[in-house]
Amino acid sequence: MQELQTVEDEFEKKNSALHNKVEQSYLELSNELVDRKTLLETEKKKFYRERELIQEVRKFQNEKVKLNIGGDFFTTSLTTLTRDPNSLLAKRVTDPKLSRRREADGSFFIDRDSTVFRIVLNYLRDQRIPDSVRDDPKIMDELMQEAQYYQIQDLMRLRWTGLPLITQEELARLYPPSTPSVTFKLEHKDLHGLDFSHYKVDPRSSFAYSNLEGCRFEEAWFEFDFEQQVDFRYAYLRGARFPEPGTPHRVPGVQFKIEGAITDGSTL
């Protein structure tokens, strides 16, 4: 009898262990199935969101926009107008507050010259300017004015692409910083990012038609002259830094020639 009881106890023990193991396996499998279901549902939602986003993008790209530029009408796409997302045109058609300001016919009115705008719009479409425009100084002047108004960064830089590059080492070789006073003749040059600190700039200096983006002049010394002014006409001056008027580096009365220059409101 004792042996039979031992066998029964052993059987119950093993049976209980087997039952617990089966139950544990069932719970693990159930949890795994729940996790897989949750993952599949998440992936499904992600798929539908991405599909909706793609549809919205396609709708956005294909949506036509009607513009009234100085009384002449143009039709283009949102994709074209938002090529430069920080431009006035992009903000005009995407900013909720600005985009509500439409004419009765649904067009956006902008009081600018339509002839030059045609060139601007074609540039946004294919990122190029015809050679006939590049070779005409008058049209290029007008185009730069419009590029600045519409705040199209790449178009504003266009006039200064392909200029001969001057490095900091070349600048020091051409104009040694130790010279008491330097008359710079750096016209039609790519000077972007150069540091003119500690140079004493003669008023007869000229940087006309050059790219001076990001140049440092705030520690340069500008001399006063009753007849001469440093020439920055038609230069690209966005990001260039100059000394404040009335400081030792720029004594009272020092003025610059900046006709046709592209600036960003820096102290000139």
Ranges of the chain whose pLDDT falls below 50: 60
CA distances (Å), 68 to each of 102, 106, 111, in order?
10, 10, 8
**Segments making up each domain of the chain, as ranges:** 62-160, 162-268
Structure pTM? 0.66
Q: Quick one: pLDDT at residue 46?
A: 80
Q: Quick one: pLDDT at residue 144?
A: 92
Q: Quick one: pLDDT at residue 117?
A: 96
Q: Can you read off the two tokens belonging to residue 212?
A: 């001076």
Q: Quick one: pLDDT at residue 98?
A: 74
Q: How would you class 107 by CB atoms within 10 Å of its CB: exposed for 0-12, middle for 13-18, buried for 19 or more?
A: middle
Round to whole Å and give the CA distance between 124 and 79. Answer: 9
The CATH number of domain 62-160, selected from 3.30.710.10, 3.40.50.1220, 3.40.50.150, 3.60.60.10: 3.30.710.10
CA distances (Å), 11 to each of 2, 3, 4, 6, in order?
14, 12, 10, 9
Q: Which amino acid is present at 230?
A: V
Say whether domain 162-268 belongs to CATH 2.160.20.
yes
Q: Can you read off the two tokens belonging to residue 20?
A: 């617990």
| Three-state SS at 247 | strand
Q: Quick one: pLDDT at residue 63?
A: 83
Whether the CB-CB separation of 110 and 92 falls below 8 Å is answered with yes
Q: Can you read off the two tokens belonging to residue 167?
A: 């490095």
| Three-state SS at 159 | helix
Q: Which residues pair with 231 in a beta bridge?
A: 206, 257
Q: Quick one: pLDDT at residue 91?
A: 92
Q: Quick one: pLDDT at residue 7?
A: 60
Q: Quick one: pLDDT at residue 49?
A: 76
